Structures are given as C-alpha cells and as structure tokens.
C-alpha cells in the first residue's frame, strides 16, 4: 500500500495559551507543524478528492489556536480530532506545537508537545 504524507511546517500564531497569568494576559508565539498520511490512490491524483487540503488544515489549526487553553496537549489533540473529522481518510496524524518563549526566569529555548495518532479506517 502506498501513502502520501502531507505536511505543514512553521505555522505561526500569537495566542494566550498557558497555565501562568502572564501567558494569559501577555500572550506568546507558537509554531505548529503537522504531518498527515493518506492512502495514495491507484491512479495519479488530479484533484483534492483523494487528498488533504492544506488550506483547510491551516484554517482548522488557526481556529483552534485562537481559543485559549491551559495545555498544549489539549490544543494538539483538538487539532488532530478536527482535521480527522474533516478528512476521514487520514491514516495517521502528528501535531507538534512549540511554545517559542517560556515565561520562566533564566530559561532559554522553547518547549513543545507532539501528539501522534494512527487510525484504522
């Protein structure tokens, strides 16, 4: 069985996600990366019928990222669930969310969470 992997890299959002009051009031920059597998059709694809429309995936991600959540894990699962709902042919999805600036004294770098799920359908 052949598959296609559709990926979106470096989607940037400014949002108020996090446990700390500063994160909720000041906000933070986030980067989202998605990877989605679908079964490749037997014939060469000529339309999006047998694929994933990355513009739709971006819109779903943007909508989810606009609603404040305490945990990145919640965001990642919600994005995955909504993308699967829109594209039921998905075989696998991976959603990575990176918090680019942490409100922790003397902490340099970023933090991320990656949610991966395989589907039987």
Cα 80–70–11 angle (5° rounding)? 45
**Which has the higher per-residue pLDDT, 24 or 58?**
58
For the chain, domain boundaries? 3-40+49-118
Question: What is the CATH code for 3-40+49-118?
Answer: 3.30.1130.10
**Is a pLDDT exceeding 80 seen at residue 58?**
yes
CA dihedral 79, 86, 84, 42 (to 10 degrees): -140
Mean pLDDT for all residues in the chain? 92
Distance between CA atoms of residues 39 and 6, nearest Å: 11
């Amino acid at each position: 069985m052949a598959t296609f992997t559709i990926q979106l890299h470096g989607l940037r959002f400014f949002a108020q996600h996090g446990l700390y009051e500063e994160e909720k009031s000041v906000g933070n920059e986030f980067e989202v990366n998605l990877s989605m597998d679908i079964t490749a059709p037997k014939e060469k694809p000529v339309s999006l019928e047998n694929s994933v429309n990355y513009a739709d995936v971006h819109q779903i991600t943007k909508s989810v990222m606009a609603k404040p959540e305490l945990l990145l894990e919640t965001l990642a699962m919600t994005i995955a669930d909504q993308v699967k709902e829109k594209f039921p042919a998905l075989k696998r999805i991976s959603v990575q969310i990176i918090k680019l600036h942490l409100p922790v004294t003397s902490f340099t770098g970023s933090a991320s969470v990656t949610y991966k799920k395989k589907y039987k359908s």
